[in-house]
Amino acid sequence: MKIKKEVTIYDLAKELNYSPSTISRALNNHKSISKKTVKLIKEAAEEMGYRPNNLAAGLRSNKSNTIGVLISRINRPFVSSLISGIENTARKAGYNVLISQSNDKYQSEINNSNALYDSRISGLIVSLSMETIDMGHFEKFMENGIPIVFVDRVPSNFNSYKVVIDNYTAGYSATKHLIEQGCKRIAHFAGAKHRNVYLERKKGYLDALREHGLPIEDKLVVNFKTLSFDEGTKATEKLLKMTNPPDGIFAANDTTGVSAIMCAKKLGVKVPDQLAVIGFNDDPISSIVQPSLSTVSHPASKMGAISAKRILEHSAQSYDADLSEITVLGTEIIARGSSLRTVKS
Amino acid sequence: MKIKKEVTIYDLAKELNYSPSTISRALNNHKSISKKTVKLIKEAAEEMGYRPNNLAAGLRSNKSNTIGVLISRINRPFVSSLISGIENTARKAGYNVLISQSNDKYQSEINNSNALYDSRISGLIVSLSMETIDMGHFEKFMENGIPIVFVDRVPSNFNSYKVVIDNYTAGYSATKHLIEQGCKRIAHFAGAKHRNVYLERKKGYLDALREHGLPIEDKLVVNFKTLSFDEGTKATEKLLKMTNPPDGIFAANDTTGVSAIMCAKKLGVKVPDQLAVIGFNDDPISSIVQPSLSTVSHPASKMGAISAKRILEHSAQSYDADLSEITVLGTEIIARGSSLRTVKS
DNA sequence: TTGTAGGCGTTATCAG
DNA sequence: CTGATAACGCCTACAA
């Protein structure tokens, strides 16, 4: 296999009897070059198979036009839609997207943030790992003017762009929805409490109970480690075998919500009449399970698009932008069979 | 916000009274530098907050240590797992991963391949868009010694690394499984026929029928455009309303397989006894639907890992490697409720 | 084991 | 409107 030598702006310059600077300017639509020359040069570039070298351009201009993404794992519906939104938006603006997964490990998050930094990304979009508490690894981005957008799983102790949903209200509404369906004893499947999303959903749950005069029982609040299907099944079994089992579950994600439905059915507990369930995220599985799982919408793709837009806007500005803008997106309760009772008790 | 000046190897050199080249070598573990000096320099680098500049290193050494990924869309279970496998493997080797989605548009695939090329990726992993027929946009990679690994949706008319499953055998086995369950009239939900994966699954289906003495009926082979849930529902409805409806469906993906089950249930057709269904991919929804969907495993993450490994291996070789290696992974029939009949008819 | 010097491909400044 | 020149940060012969 012969390796061709790459065509550079020097080759174009020689070929067309222009200086490299003129070629460069023409290729970048610099206004000082006549339309005619630009056209000529671009056509020649095309014909000679010229392709710009982003490494060189990036080194020189100190901007890589690349957005770095730091998430826990890609193969989950919410995350892959988030990235999809980021990529589509970035691509339209001519930006590339560099991804990295922490697999929810703090140390990996540090390593990956360094790797992305080393590529001199124009901005970083982060959804924190489950383990992350200390934010030190993000400081060098701030110090060097690289904007960071935290999305969904955001820190409370770090000032930067944030794109989130109102988890508190969502948790409150989900719980209220169950109450309206006649539930009196509502359990909650809670996620790691140092992650804002889970903490706030839980707060919303607790407040909804309180404000509707329902008692809060510790035994009904199950703290999950990973919110996995198996964990959900075990928790549901335990709850349903109590002498006084709950009549409703608000699960912090759909995976455990679906597991609750399937476990209840297996145990002969009627959903929604004996046990109403609502999840979170609107993952594909939630509309497949029967009865279908009520849930809370989570605008993943839109959150990705907005996050990318923040980076793009920031890059377009020359002045020092205010980095602390927080975008809060709305969510909706999607009521389905798992919670819609025909007769309210 | 003050923007700090970056620390370079020159700064380290000045600080430590070494030449930049020594610093560079030490940082890269060059063997000619003593352990002691390496340690000294690395510690100073750490302390001074030095971070290498990949753009500069890449420009100079003509290798970016970046793998480009070109897929149709990220937010599908198979694809996100594929990317997850790529990323984990690449990361371990110190490579970054650049992603781009074509959204199944030929023109986007061209544009994205150019964008990735411009970033001087070390290798490209591609799963073709639905529309792609011409392969011209991949030639410059070959000409410049950038390895391409086609994965899953691969071309037949382009010689390069390929990582695939044996779609023919999988299609054959899936159909045979239905035959063994007693199905006599088996329909097939087929995907776009210029994409190898769908064509081969269909061939396997046809041969299985033939070899088991079952008639092939054109009306039972439904050609899908996108294999979406809605398309699946419509196709199932139409089939089940025939005067002589099929008693089995082999769907080329799980989405339409699940839609078939749900549609059949709605129409009062018993699954699996009146209609047995098998899908493809083992997406999460397949084990949630009831009866759960029999399917064919698709080792997405593993395919990603192997694809990445091909690139890494190729990069490690100095000689001109043979680019035509094809890796074929095995699949398994996962028999679940949607096809397991208690009484074989 | 370490240093010197040149260049990777591009862009920006300055001059014309 | 165009050209010469330097510089971005790093790597690597070649020299010492």
* B226-276 pLDDT per residue, tens: 999 999 999 999 999 999 999 999 999 999 999 999 999 999 999 999 999
Contacts 24+ apart (CB under 8 A), B3-9: B3/A143, B3/A144, B3/A145, B4/A143, B4/A144, B6/A144, B6/B51, B6/B53, B7/B45, B7/B48, B7/B49, B7/B50, B7/B51, B8/B50, B8/B53, B9/B50
pLDDT at B320: 58
User: Which of B55, B118, B319 is the mutation pick for testing A, counting most A CBs within 10 A?
Assistant: B55
Q: Which of A84-93, B136-145, B251-260 has the lowest mean pLDDT?
A: B136-145
* Distance in Å, alpha carbon of B221 to nearest chain A alpha carbon: 25
pLDDT at A1: 44
Strand C closer than 7 A to residue A9 Cβ: yes
Q: Give tens-digit pLDDT for A134-170.
A: 999 999 999 899 999 999 999 998 999 999 999 999 9
Fold of A167-297: Rossmann fold (3.40.50)
What is d(CA B173, CA A177) in angstroms, rounded to the nearest whole number? Answer: 47
pLDDT at A3: 57
pLDDT at B31: 85
Q: Which of A214-218, A298-302, B31-35, B314-318 has the lowest mean pLDDT?
A: B314-318
Place A228 in a pLDDT band, splitting at 50, 70 and 90: very high
Give mean pLDDT, residues B294-319: 91
pLDDT at B6: 85
Any idea which nucleotide's C1' is nearest the CA of B32?
C1
Q: Give tens-digit pLDDT for A42-63.
A: 999 999 999 999 999 999 999 9
Which CATH number is B9-52's, of 1.10.10.10, 1.10.150.120, 1.10.260.40, 3.20.20.450?
A: 1.10.260.40
| Residue A80: partners with Cβ closer than 8 Å, 6 or more residues away | A74, B74, B75, B76, B79, B80
Q: For B249-264, give one letter per residue: b (16+ CB within 10 A) or e.
A: bbbbbbbbbbbbbbbb
Q: Structure pTM?
A: 0.95
Nearest CB among B51, B117, B301 relative to A117 is that of B51
* Chain A hits for B55, Cβ within 8 Å: 55, 58-59, 64, 119-120
Max alpha carbon distance in chain A (Å)? 89
Residues of chain B with CATH 1.10.260.40: 9-52
pLDDT at A34: 85
Strand D closer than 7 A to residue B52 Cβ: yes
Q: Protein A56 CA to nucleic acid C14 C1', in Å?
A: 22
pLDDT at A214: 96
Strand C closer than 7 A to residue B21 Cβ: yes
Instruction: Name the closest residue (CA) to the C1' of nucleotide D12.
Output: B21
pLDDT at B345: 54
The residue whose two tokens read 């943030």 is A113
Q: Give tens-digit pLDDT for A249-298.
A: 999 999 999 999 999 999 999 999 999 999 999 999 999 999 999 999 99
pLDDT at A194: 87
pLDDT at B3: 55
Q: Give tens-digit pLDDT for A8-42.
A: 999 999 889 999 999 999 999 888 888 888 999 99
**DSSP structure class, residue B272:** T
Residues of A (133-192) whose Cβ lies below 8 Å from B: 140, 142-145
Q: Give tens-digit pLDDT for A290-335.
A: 999 999 999 999 999 999 999 999 988 755 566 778 999 999 999 9
Any idea which nucleotide's C1' is nearest the CA of A57?
C10
CA distances from B92 to A67, A319, B305 (A): 21, 38, 11
What is d(CA A259, CA A232) in angstroms, rounded to the nearest whole number? Answer: 6
Strand C closer than 7 A to residue B32 Cβ: yes
Return the CA Rg of chain A.
26
Place B4 in a pLDDT band, splitting at 50, 70 and 90: low
Mean pLDDT of chain B: 94
pLDDT at B193: 87
Give mean pLDDT, residues B172-201: 96
- Per the CB < 8 A criterion, the answer to whether B109 and B70 are in contact is yes
Residues of chain A with CATH 3.40.50.2300: 61-165+300-329, 167-297
What is d(CA B147, CA B140) in angstroms, rounded to the nearest whole number? Answer: 10
Max alpha carbon distance in chain B (Å)? 89
Q: Which of residues 46-75 of B touch strand C (CB under 7 A)?
A: 56, 59-60, 62
Contacts 24+ apart (CB under 8 A), A130-135: A130/A72, A130/A104, A130/A192, A130/A195, A130/A226, A131/A104, A131/A105, A131/A106, A132/A102, A132/A106, A133/A106, A133/A194, A134/A106
Query: Does domain B61-165+300-329 sit in CATH 3.40.50.2300?
Result: yes
What is d(CA A75, CA B182) in angstroms, rounded to the nearest whole number? Answer: 36
CA distances from A10 to A45, A56, A273 (A): 11, 13, 75
Give mean pLDDT, residues B285-291: 97
Res. B15: pLDDT tops 60? yes
Higher pLDDT, A78 or A318: A78
- Per the CB < 8 A criterion, the answer to whether A58 and B60 are in contact is no
Res. B1: pLDDT tops 70? no
